[in-house]
Structure 1
Amino acid sequence: MKTSSRLWGIFSGSIGNLIEYYDWFVYVGLEIYFSKEFFPSGDATVSLLRTAAVFAIGFLVRPIGGWVLGIYADKHGRRAALLLSVSMMCFGSLMIGLTPGYQTIGIAAPVILLVARILQGLSIGGEGGSAAAYLSETAPKGSRGFYSSFLYTTISLGQLLAMGTLVLMQQFFLTAEQLQSWGWRIPFLIGALISVVGILLRRNMQETESFEKHAKKAKKVSAIREALRHKKACWMVFGLTLGGSVGNYAFAAYMQKFLVNSAGMAKGTASLISVLSLIGFTVLQPVYGALSDRIGRKPLLLTFGILGTFGTVPLFTFLKGTQSPYVAFVVVMAALATVAMYSSVSTITKAELFPVEVRTFGLAVPYAISVSVFSGTVEYIALWTRKEGHENWFFWYVSACICASLITYLLMPETKKTSLIDRD
């Protein structure tokens, strides 16, 4: 593949991923505004619990998306699967942005919300494996960690764009009453619009040489049978994802609500802290990715596992009692700098475990199962433990999940040295 085609492919795949995750995370940032629109209740926490349950259901269908789109990508190409996933995300955002509230159409409102999130869950479930396979196969051998890190860079940029949109509306354009009433719809409609850009970009992507070389063989291979031949690698993907994704959602996605509900900060202040810390988190992705090309993936994963296992409970406990937004920012940034050691190398580590004919399926399904079972319920568990008066249980839960991944990191090989991408 020519350098220009490689760079265009990495750009198009990354931007499309950014757009998808903007659409996905907009829901998280705006729940505090639209929860009562779909689930009226006299208790704000109860309304949030219900919208969080819908969010969790969106996660639970991600393995199905990974399964279906993973097989599709391994049979028909990464480009075709990436184009399909961004189209599904576009339609889901449009549905949420245009659906009337419960007071207007009754039970149909939360039903449509649920259908839209299921559609987006299927989309994001297929996106992860397809994008990871595409970036890892497109990147040059000596820089795979650096280029593959842009997958999580664009994930965090998508989250940052979602949070930034909310902050701009909060600070400059709309009052709290307007946001609560109708303003929350705007980011979803923006997401549907920019998804069209993602569709156009991906239509002009070039398929990877690795897939084209093995395309005829891939169409004859049973994805399930081939994945079973690599079941150890599938378990590794599940294990290394578990703690990293839980940590990511706890410190990035849920942190805004934690600072509001538990630390007692204003919504605008909490959103600003989340945005600024996400900027630092985003910048660190390619830095750590490039470092992994020199020292390997495993040292970074081990460092994250150790710091996350022993530092999570003290960090959350400290944050709960702090009143200073400046101190809170420093602590949150330290947490995300640790999580970035996982996120920056997770894409390439998983891709290096599988051969080309099952790479997308092998990546997507165990990853999506791990994320849906554990990450998708992070917010719900956090809100439930708070409601029950035992919020510290959530802190220990996050720590335990990271500890489980630490065991995986200790047992797995250094994939930089054993990469199956080199055998394509």
Structure 2
Amino acid sequence: MNLARLRNILIGSAGNLVEWYDFYAYSSLSIYFATVFFPKADYTAQLLSAAAIFAVGFLMRPIGAWLMGVYGDRHGRKAGLTLSVALMAGGSLLIAVAPTYATAGLLAPAILLVARLMQGLSVGGEYGASATYLSEMASRAHRGFWSSFQYVTLVGGQLLSLAVLLLLQSRLSEAELTAWGWRIPFAIGTLLALLVYWLRRHLEETASFQGLHPDREKSSIAALWRDHRREVLLVAAITAGGSCSFYAYTTYLQKFLVNTAHLDKPAATEVMTVALFLFMLLQPAFGWLADRVGRKPLLLLFGIGGMLASVPVFGALAGVRSPGEALPLVMIPLVLTAAYTSISAVVKAELFPAGLRTLGVALPYAIGNALFGGTAEYVALWFKQAGREGGFAWYVTALLAVATIAFLLLPETRRTSRIAED
């Protein structure tokens, strides 16, 4: 791989890290600001309100995927990546300066909602743009490995948000974090997003986009559905199980360890920080493996293994009493999930032609993610509030069964890739 290609992949990945740091800071900090924006007596109800706005951000992702997917197919991958990070900077800034319920009443959660809508639009466009950019920039022989860096940086962004939280927890009291300390990560995210905006303006365009005929049919939902209906449905089904599992095990488990296993907040944060770091390191290893054995074996490992593991893992985690007991159990589903996340970008990108690729990757992914990924935490908390917490594990298992059927119907994209070799 030449240095210019490597540079573009690394800069594209760095932007992805900042996008997801900003997006996940909301979830990791909500254990503190939930009481500031939603003053109710029951802590689970407060988390439920914060999770609802988290889910609303996901509902904007299909709109962002549509708008910026079309934009990226028509104007270039670089243009789409630049626009998405600009939106993220605006959303993070708005959260950083948002008033509390005590000072602004209902206006406070309304401002929080607007900021999450902006971030949802941004991430809706980011996934398709970055998945397409990294897949098109990589050579065929190493496409699985290099595209895995989308989730290296995605998890890295989540990990960075947790690391910032750990630092704040070590320097500030819980009262200080609840009163004002939770704003600091969003201010940091705003500055990082502005830096990445500048870096992305200097990215090179991919050869796949540059090779498109100027008189080609323009990217649109109608063209995508007319010509690639089967691929759209497969991506949506894959995403339903993949995204639900990802958010269940990387986002919700922090709250599960506090709210159900009754670990203290710093201990739960430490467990998830170590687990996510190990999960991040697994991405390129599985991506490398997919370049040698194919995509489908890894996808089936995730689907079948996840169905077998979800219920017993949640049951065992409910009874842990220390971080040392929790970490090995958390890693079981994360190892299985890494077999999916490491290659999810390249599998989807390899299904679509260049003229529709950004939209084809982004839109069905965003729909599946909005319905089953962004709502995972809300569904889990709903089961807990209803007194049937164990039902969430069966819910995850059912969605993994849907994804596994889609994996069986999927072609082996390592052989049938529609990404042209440059």
TM-score (structure 1 length as normaliser): 0.98
The answer to whether the aligner puts 1:352 opposite 2:350 as a matched pair is yes
Q: Give secondary structure in 1 for the equivalent of 2:204.
A: coil
CA contact (8 A) 1:227 1:358 kept: no
Q: Name the residue aligned to 1:92.
A: 91
Structure 2 stretches lacking a partner, 5+ long: none
Does structure 2 conserve the Cα–Cα contact (< 8 Å) formed by 1:256 and 1:271?
A: yes
The Cα of 1:310 is off from its aligned counterpart by 1.3
- Partners of 2:224 and 2:103 in 1: CA distance: 50
The answer to whether the 8 Å contact 1:75/1:219 transfers is no
**What amino acid is aligned across from residue 209 of structure 1 in structure 2?**
A
Q: Judge conservation of contact 1:13–1:131 (CA < 8 Å) in 2.
A: yes
Structure 1 distance, partners of 2:421, 2:7, is 24
Residue in structure 2 matched with residue 76 of structure 1 by the alignment: 75
Give the 5 Å matches for 1:8-407: 8-171=7-170, 173-214=171-212, 216-218=214-216, 220-407=218-405
Partner secondary structure for residue 214 of structure 1: coil
SS in 2 for 1:398: helix
Give per-residue Cα distances to partners, 1:308-359, cap 9 Å, x unaligned. Answer: 0111001100110121311210111122111000000101000000000000
Tell me the distance in 2 between the aligned counterparts of 1:94 and 1:221.
Answer: 32
What letter is aligned with 1:156? V
Once the two structures are superposed, residues 139-193 of structure 1 have per-residue CA deviations (whole angstroms, 9 ceiling, x without a partner) of 011000000000011000000000111011112x111111011000000100001
Give, in whole Å, the separation in 1 of the partners of 2:410 and 2:333.
24
1:5, distance to aligned residue in structure 2 (A)? 2.0
One-letter amino acid of the counterpart of residue 61, structure 1: M
1:106-138 per-residue CA deviation (whole Å, 9 max, x = no partner) reads: 111111100000000000000000101100000
Shift of residue 4, structure 1, vs aligned partner: 2.2
| Identical pairs, percent | 49
Amino acid at match of 1:320: A
Q: Where in structure 1 are there 5+ consecutive unaligned residues?
A: none
Distance in 2 separating the partners of 1:319 and 1:121: 31
The whole-number CA distance in structure 1 between the counterparts of 2:213 and 2:200 is 19
CA contact 1:246–1:374 (8 Å) conserved in 2: yes
The offset of 1:274, in angstroms, is 0.2
Secondary structure of the 1:18 match is: helix
Distance 2:147 2:349 in 1: 10
Structure 1 residue 241: Cα displacement: 1.3
The letter of the residue matching 1:9 is: N
Give yes or no for contact 2:63–2:124 (8 Å, CA) kept in 1. Answer: yes
- The superposition leaves residues 23-78 of structure 1 with CA deviations (integer Å, 9 ceiling, x where unpaired) of 00000001110011111111111111111110110001100000000000000000
Provide the aligned length of Structure 1 versus Structure 2.
422
Helix, strand or coil at the partner of 2:214:
helix
> 2:395, 2:220 → 1: CA distance?
37
Task: Write the letter of the residue equivalent to 1:70.
Answer: G
User: CA 1:13–1:367 in 2, change beyond 3 Å: closer, same or farther?
Assistant: same
Question: What TM-score, normalized to structure 2?
Answer: 0.98
Deviation at 1:400, TM superposition (A): 0.8
Aligned equivalents of 1:393 and 1:370: distance in 2? 20
Q: Which amino acid aligns with 1:330?
A: P
Deviation at 1:217, TM superposition (A): 3.9
| Pair 1:102–1:354, CA change in 2 (3 A) | same
Deviations 1:1-32 (A, max 9, x none): x8222111101110000000000000000111
Deviates more, 1:296-305 or 1:220-229: 220-229
Contact residue 35 and residue 48 of structure 1 kept, 8 A: yes
The CA deviation string for residues 224-252 of structure 1, in whole angstroms up to 9 with x for no partner, is: 31442011111111111111111110011
Give CA-to-partner distance per residue, 1:186-242, whole Å, 9 cap, x none: 001000011011101101000001101105145645453144201111111111111
Report which stretch shifted further, 329-338 or 72-81: 329-338
CA distance in 2, matches of 1:218, 1:365: 20
**Partner amino acid for 2:209?**
F
Any conservation in 1 of the 2:92–2:189 contact (CA below 8 Å)?
yes
* Superposition misfits of 4+ residues, deviation over 3 angstroms: 217-223
Query: Aligned AA for 1:8?
Result: R
Q: CA–CA distance in 2 between the matches of 1:393 and 1:139?
A: 41
Whole-Å Cα distance in 2 between the matches of residues 219 and 95 of structure 1? 38
1:325 partner amino acid: P
1:40 match: secondary structure: coil
What SS does the corresponding residue of 2:352 show, helix, strand or coil?
Answer: coil
Q: Is the 8 Å Cα contact of residues 34 and 46 (structure 2) preserved in structure 1? A: yes
1:403 Cα offset (Å): 1.1
